[in-house]
Chain A
């Protein structure tokens, strides 16, 4: 069991911070889409930037940059090194 201090949701990361995906707690449709875009447990993920006015996040997994909304990012648990 990981201690809560090290586990965050993806939406909490600041631009430039990176982490490792721990789990994805979403409905099936979003989960499949995220899987296909490379979101898998153990993968390295970096937050590139956050849009103003609580807009979406730009994240990078491998060679793919992805936009997702904060509420969706909140459902992805990550581990900060």
Chain B
């Protein structure tokens, strides 16, 4: 099958073109010599199936960034039959340098000058015919977003594919001409075929930025937008999430439970409470992930994410992070899983890993449920709110401490030099495709791990069959008893230790597991907790719950996003250690003070 590679700088609409060409039917593929995910799709072009690969955006084919190395390795090991080079027509003045570099590789090329509509608005005129003549490469003006000029471009791509690839020279680097030559060539082509107005008209972007990046108003507006986003996701997400839960329960009661009723109870429990609940757990994340990425697509594609980086960089650079990490950290307060997936916007691996190490400390909505229940049971109404609020402070403190400790180990070598794209409206199609892709990715990568984990915890808490489920005689009970010397100094009882084992799967089930462990529900459970625990023990339990592993889905996402078991283990061990030390300091400190 013939292979087309899409190449271009960041912010050229390359991925928009890719989505348009493949109709969104893309998959993540593995390529020789490359460790990152590349999207590829199969399309019918002129009667033949061809494969299109969306390469990461690069500024310079000789650059030192990770993406630039990925593209070099890809081209070296997987010579494409055709390279479609996408350039941003509004920035043709400087983007031409990449094209001239690529031309030296003797690749079979077609050039698409994208965002031709925007260039026109800026008063930039480009004579594609003259440019084709000057460069000896077919060049087309188009708009990948609106589709203008798209048909001509596809036609040209099909035509160019029919010629044979000249093949790439053995040593790519040595045959390169010095940069000065490119400078001369650039001005020759530009003088000939492009006219750029001396001063750009004061457009909407400049006016909006005067407000959005205002020295005083910028930050309050940023936090306002984050708040709305956050509320938006959960205003729409939570009803959807519970609807998915209800649907799975309904299906279970109506169909599965009666169908399986003839099986022995252990098998029934394993199938229904183990595997089926695992599937339901995975499914419950789907609406949140779709919504999250619908909203993130707005923030990212409009160009606001780069503005957030501008506003927050002063603070975040001291933590070894950048403004985009902060956006994801905030989004983690809703749900850690999509926030971890969202770190993919950061192109530097070390910056991504450090952000991923920090995000699980965000007090997500599932943990909030636990804290609200326990605080209400143990504290007077006024101090309950204060207790929950103080946990948010601990959440931020854990994140900051982790960043400060680990920033040296995940030093970010990529220079902080970001392009600030003009504001753009994303199309609904772009937003939808993004959400859909991410869900596919999550289900594809994380579901097996989550289902196995749920089954494992079910087995721990229900075997041997002679023991009361979640009781002290189960394997989980034994583990709890064995861990007791470790949990006693932080004031956590054996019953609560079993609840923490459940909490490893998902924080949503912690209260439910307490109900099973105590054999009580609702108010009776609150009452029993209030009798058994004093506030110091309860707060220590909440601190531990806040800081240790958020949930199995987060662990699965950490693993699939970092592609490193070592990193996943580091995150697990560090959060457990920090949780234990924090609870220890709090519990022993409070006891020493006489509480």
B419 at the interface (CB under 8 A from A): yes
Is A67's CB under 8 angstroms from B91's CB? no
Question: Within 8 Å of chain A (Cβ to Cβ): is B63?
Answer: yes
Complex: how many Å from CA A78 to CA B263?
Answer: 80
Interface residues of B in 415-436 (CB under 8 A from A): 415-422
| Complexed CA–CA distance, A75 and B548 (Å) | 43
Interface size class on chain A is 20 to 34
Q: Is the CB of B310 closer than 8 A to any CB of chain A?
A: yes
Please tell me if B317 contacts chain A, counting CB pairs below 8 Å: yes
Are A54 and B93 neighbours in the complex by a CB distance under 8 Å? no
A33 contacts across to B, CB distance below 8 A: 59-60, 63-65, 415, 417
Chain A residues with CB below 8 A from B421, complex form: 65
Q: How far is the CB of A33 from chain B (nearest CB, A)?
A: 5
Query: Which of B9, B196, B418 has the most CB atoms of chain A within a 10 A radius of its CB?
Result: B418
Q: In the complex, which residues of chain B have a beta carbon less than 8 angstroms from the beta carbon of A28?
A: 64
Chain B nearest CB from A37 CB (Å) reads 7
B314–A54 contact, CB under 8 A? yes
Shortest Cβ gap from B394 to chain A (Å): 25
On whether A72 and B417 interact (CB within 8 A), knowing A36-B63, A51-B310, the answer reads: yes
Count of chain A to chain B residue pairs whose CB atoms are closer than 8 Å in the complex: 113
Measured CA separation A37–B417 after assembly (Å): 9
Query: If the complex has contacts A40-B183, A54-B314, A62-B91, are A67 and B97 also in contact, measured as CB distance less than 8 A?
Result: no
- Tell me whether A67 and B64 are in contact in the complex, defined as CB-CB below 8 angstroms, given that A51-B311, A55-B314 are known contacts: no
Selected interface stretch from B21-29, B136-144, B212-220, B468-476: B212-220
* Complex interface: chain A residues within 8 A of B417 (CB): 30, 33-34, 37, 66-68, 72
Complex Cα spacing A49 to B216, Å: 13
Residues in A36-64 with C-beta less than 8 Å from chain B: 36-38, 40, 48-49, 51-56, 58, 61-64
| In the complex, chain A residues whose CB is within 8 Å of the CB of B257 | none
Q: Is the CB of B60 within 8 A of A63?
A: no
Q: Is B94 an interface residue (CB 8 A)?
A: yes
Name the interface residues of A5-26: CB closer than 8 Å to any CB of B: 26
Known pairs A51-B313, A55-B310; A65 contacts B420 (CB<8 A): yes
Cβ–Cβ contact A32 & B420, under 8 A = no
Smallest CB gap from B317: residue in A = A69
Task: List chain B residues, Cβ under 8 A from A49.
Answer: 209, 213, 215
- The yes or no answer to B104 lying at the interface (CB within 8 A) is no
User: Taking the nearest CB of chain B, how far is it from the CB of A28, in angstroms?
Assistant: 7
Assuming the A-B contacts A67-B309, A72-B417, are A32 and B93 also in contact, with contact meaning beta carbons closer than 8 angstroms in the complex? no
Q: How far is the CA of A40 from the CA of B182 in the complex (A)?
A: 12
Contacts A66-B419, A69-B317 given; does A52 touch B219 at CB 8 Å: yes
Is residue B90 contacting chain A, with contact meaning CB distance below 8 A?
A: yes
> A26 to chain B: which residues have CB within 8 Å?
415
A67 to B313, CA, bound (A): 10
Residue B200 at the A interface, CB < 8 A?
yes
Please report which residues of chain B, range 294-345, place their CB below 8 angstroms from some CB of chain A when the two chains form the complex. Answer: 306, 309-311, 313-315, 317
B30 within 8 A of A: no
Q: Report B-chain residues with C-beta under 8 Å of the C-beta of A55.
A: 310-311, 313-314
> Is A63 in contact with B122, judged by CB distance below 8 angstroms?
yes
Q: B17 contacts the other chain (Cβ, under 8 Å)? A: no
- Residues on the A chain within 8 Å of B209, using CB: 48-49
Interface contact A38-B416, CB-CB below 8 Å? no
The answer to whether B179 and A63 have CB atoms under 8 Å apart is: no
- Max chain B C-beta neighbours (<10 A), residue from A28, A35, A38: A35
Tell me the bound Cα distance from A62 to B98 in angstroms.
17
Which residue from B97, B200, B315 sits with its C-beta under 8 Å from A36? B97
A1 CB-CB contact with B under 8 Å = no
If A32-B60, A32-B62 touch, does A67 touch B420 (CB 8 Å cutoff)? yes
CB-based contact A56/B94 at 8 Å: no
**How far is it, in angstroms, between the C-alpha of A37 and the C-alpha of B90 when the chains are bound?**
13
- Bound complex: CA A66 to CA B306 (Å): 10
**B182 (CB) vs chain A CBs: closest residue:** A35
Q: Are B94 and A36 interface neighbours, CB within 8 A?
A: yes
Q: Given A35-B60, A36-B98, A49-B213 in contact, is the A29-B415 Cβ separation under 8 Å?
A: yes
Interface presence of B124 (CB below 8 A): yes
Q: Cβ of B413 < 8 Å from any Cβ of A? A: yes
Q: Which residues from A are CB-within-8-Å of B93? A: 38, 62-63
Interface centre among A36, A38, A61, A62 (most CB of B within 10 A): A36
Given contacts A51-B313, A62-B196, A67-B416, contact A32 B64 (CB under 8 A): yes
Which residues from chain A contact B313 at a C-beta distance below 8 Å?
51, 55-56, 67, 69
Top 4 closest pairs, chain A to chain B, by CB: A36-B59, A55-B314, A29-B64, A53-B314
30 contacts across the A-B interface (CB closer than 8 A): A28-B64, A29-B413, A30-B415, A30-B417, A32-B63, A33-B59, A33-B63, A33-B417, A35-B97, A37-B59, A37-B419, A38-B94, A49-B209, A51-B218, A51-B310, A51-B311, A51-B314, A52-B314, A55-B311, A55-B313, A56-B313, A61-B94, A62-B93, A63-B124, A64-B94, A66-B419, A66-B420, A67-B309, A67-B313, A69-B317
A residues adjacent to B (C-beta < 8 A): 26, 28-30, 32-38, 40, 48-49, 51-56, 58, 61-69, 72
Known: A56-B416, A66-B418. 9 other contacts (CB 8 A): A26-B415, A29-B415, A33-B64, A33-B65, A37-B59, A55-B311, A56-B310, A69-B313, A72-B416
